[in-house]
Amino acid sequence: MKYFKLPDLGEGLPEAEIVEWHVKVGDRVDEDQVLVSVETAKAIVEVPSPQAGVVAQLFGEPGDIIHTGEPLLGFEGEGDDSGTVVGKLKRAEAESRQDQFIIGAAQSSRQARHQRATPGVRALAERLGVSLESIKGSGPGGLITNDDVHQQASHQKALGDAEALRGPRRTMAKTMSLSHAQVVPVSIFEDVDIGDWAAGTDITMRLVQAIAQGCEAVPVLNAWFDGDNLSRRLLAEVHVGIAVDTPEGLFVPVLRDVNHRDQADLRQGLENLREAVASRKIPPREMQGATITLSNFGTMAGQYANPIVTPPQVAIVGAGRIREKVVPYKGKPAVRRVLPLSLTFDHRAATGGEAARFMASLLEALGQP
């Protein structure tokens, strides 16, 4: 049998989740014919065949997690294994060290099952309808025992089956855990009077441009920080990750080079990214390389928050719900429109004074008509 291994999908991503097979054992396929759809960080990718041939074996089922370089499919015949770059998929250099911070490699589903349970335990789990991935083994070295399987089956019968996180929600959970383990977060809050803004002002673009101005004023917040080596890289270009809420989970596409683009160009760029997110066809590279993030949660609800910093970034800005508030205006109390701002920063990489100066720059930029 000639093995076709999961290729490098072009962004240095270490794993993918099988979404749907488009072929079955015994099918004759052509070169570049789509074999399987897989989900990487947050994009669905169609994997083409590297050759013409007859499918002898499929490795993995929908929902299984496969590592780059692990067997994905077997062709009839003998010969060298298929390479790791196939068909229309091209290798690309990772844009930065950010990849290794954001996406950690999980053990493949097949590998996990085989390492954590004996054949007899696997058979018992299959008979009782229990997923071994949901069990923490009580045996030596985390080995799953028959008792563990029976206990899980009892839980499922009493409480119902647990839903495994997949796709974007799984990636989000891993990223949040990474942040909790690595970042030392501090948040500060402020209000900015936007009562002089013209009707129809593009709020998101004003925020993006204010962030760019803040990064130019206080460059240490536009940086990547390596906590393991206690080193940082200050970045000249400002690439803003824009948090986008969807029914499938949180996506953070990256609006690039915002300090050198006008507002109309930025708006069109954001619309293009949002359309790609909605269609689930956004390339993984469009969600990598952010130097700072904006969470515009106030479009739904909430005034202030403690936004989560994603390593290796140093800061994230949160914009709350615009509201009317009585504030001093030209020496007298007045009802004015106010935009609440939240800033969370990694205190290992930036001082409180630097964060406060960054916030002051935001206030100055947003306070203009």
The domain that contains 135 carries what CATH number? 4.10.320.10
182 and 75 housed in the same domain: no
Reported as a single tens digit per residue, the pLDDT across 143-166 is 899 999 999 888 888 887 777 777
Same domain, 40 and 74: yes
The pLDDT, as a whole number, for residue 44 is 79
Distance, CA of 204 to chain centre: 21
Q: With respect to residue 42, please indicate whether it lies within any of the assigned structural domains.
A: yes
Cβ atoms 90, 114 nearer than 8 A: no
* Residue 121 confidence (pLDDT): 87
Does 269 lie in the same domain as 354? yes
Scan for tokens 């590279």, then name that residue.
285
Q: Check residue 327 and give its pLDDT.
A: 93
Say if residue 194's pLDDT is above 80. Answer: yes
Residue ending a domain, among 102, 126, 150, is: 102
**Three-state SS at 330:** coil
HSE value, Cβ hemisphere, 13 Å, CA-based, for 45: 25
CATH of the domain at 333: 3.30.559.10
135 and 155 together in one domain: yes
Residues 61, 197 within the same domain? no
Same domain as 302, residue 215: yes
Q: Are residues 182 and 274 in the same domain?
A: yes
The amino acid occupying position 223 is A
Least confident of 11-15, 22-26, 41-45, 304-308: 11-15
pLDDT surpasses 70 at 199: yes
241 domain-assigned: yes
pLDDT in tens, 262-281: 999 999 999 999 998 888 88
State how far the Cα of 348 lies from the Cα of 346, in Å rounded to an integer.
5
Of the three residues 102, 131, 148, the one that is the final residue of a domain is: 102
Angle subtended at Cα 300 by Cα 298 and Cα 304, rounded to the nearest 5 degrees = 35
Higher-scoring residue by pLDDT: 239, 84: 239
Is 108 a domain residue?
no
| C-alpha separations of 278 from 21, 162, 181, 194, 247 in Å | 23, 27, 31, 31, 10
**Same domain, residue pair 348 and 200:** yes
Does 338 lie in the same domain as 224? yes
175 shares a domain with 142? no
pLDDT band at 108 (very low <50, low <70, confident <90, very high): low
Classify residue 112: in a domain, yes or no.
no
Number of domains in the chain: 3
Please give the average per-residue pLDDT across 217-227, as a whole number.
96
Range of the domain at 96: 2-102
Check residue 133 and give its pLDDT: 76
